[in-house]
């Protein structure tokens, strides 16, 4: 995998975790914050750390914000600063800006001003944990952005026959991308594949469509 050039703005708990993890994974990470202590804390854990106020357009331009593959704005509480930093990064040409929002209103504003991805870490992980708790047959979940997911569901007697007859795509809008059975994995199973009790179906689809299927399976 090609290493990415990342700029992380705001080194609170969230920004620090993003910056140090990306660096550990072999990416180039520049980490900035207005607070000198926060910068100091990550100095040895990222490629380069600096004190910088991201609400100042000139400072972002000087650091070459447009040259980073990804800019992560981890300023949470100061919504105005998060908005300005995101707006500056986008207007200076940053190709992909991920911004943290503290609430739904901030999320809507940040999306409107051009953030490519807005996350609400506490809200998003709360939703995910709730899904895991509430769904005992959900073995694992991989979130693909806010709308889609890949999940593993256990087949039962409610879906009998082969994949064509069961027609999960037509009925629920989800696609079966693999079947796990007795330690083996059948990738891209054929339409003729007969489902058996306890098969683990790996499905992809809209999160709400997967929820519908899960409810149907009981």
For ligand ADP, the binding residues (CB under 6 A) are 9-15, 32-35, 38, 53-55, 74-78, 81, 85
CB of 65 to ligand ADP, least distance (A): 12
Task: Show Cβ contacts of residue 159 under 8 Å, excluding neighbours closer than 6 positions.
Answer: 166, 168, 195, 217
Q: Which residues contact 141 (CB under 8 A, 6 or more apart)?
A: 128, 131, 132, 149, 150, 151
24: nearest Cα among 34, 35, 16:
16
The closest residue (CB) to ligand ADP is 12
Q: Which is nearer to ligand ADP, 32 or 153 (CB)?
A: 32
Give yes or no for a contact between 204 and 148, defined as CB atoms under 8 angstroms apart: yes
Nearer to ligand ADP, 55 or 99 (CB): 55
Cβ distance to ligand ADP smaller for residue 12 or 173:
12
With CA atoms as reference, report the closest residue to 9 among 60, 45, 44, 43. Answer: 60
Instruction: Give the Cα-Cα-Cα angle 119, 73, 26 (nearest 5 degrees).
Output: 95
CB of 102 to ligand ADP, least distance (A): 7
**Shorter beta-carbon distance to ligand ADP: residue 15 or 205:** 15
Residue 53 Cβ, how far from ligand ADP at the closest point, in Å? 5
**Alpha carbon of residue 70 to chain centroid:** 14
State the minimum distance, in angstroms, from the CB of residue 51 to ligand ADP: 9
Residue nearer to ligand ADP on the CB measure, 76 or 189:
76
Closest CB 37 distance from ligand ADP, rounded Å: 9
- Which residues are CB-neighbours of 207 under 8 A, at least 6 positions away? 147, 148, 149
């Amino acid at each position: 995998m090609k290493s990415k050039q990342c700029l992380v703005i705001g080194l609170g708990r969230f920004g620090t975790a993003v910056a140090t993890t990306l660096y550990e994974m072999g990416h180039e990470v520049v980490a900035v914050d207005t607070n000198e202590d926060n910068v100091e804390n990550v100095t040895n854990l990222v490629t380069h750390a600096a004190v910088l106020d991201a609400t100042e357009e000139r400072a972002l331009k000087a650091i070459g914000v447009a040259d980073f593959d990804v800019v992560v704005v981890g300023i949470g509480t100061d919504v105005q600063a998060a908005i300005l930093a995101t707006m500056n990064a986008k207007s200076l040409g940053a190709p992909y800006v991920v911004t943290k929002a503290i609430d739904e209103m901030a999320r809507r504003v940040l999306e409107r001003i051009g953030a490519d991805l807005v996350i609400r870490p506490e809200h998003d992980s709360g939703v995910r944990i709730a899904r895991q708790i509430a769904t005992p047959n959900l073995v694992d979940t991989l979130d693909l952005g806010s709308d889609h997911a890949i999940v593993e569901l256990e087949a039962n007697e409610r879906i009998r026959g082969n994949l064509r007859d069961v027609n999960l795509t037509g009925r629920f809008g989800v696609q079966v991308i693999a079947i796990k059975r007795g330690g083996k994995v059948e990738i891209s199973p054929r339409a003729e594949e007969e489902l058996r009790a306890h098969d683990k179906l790996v499905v992809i689809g809209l999160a709400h469509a997967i929820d519908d299927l899960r409810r149907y399976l009981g």
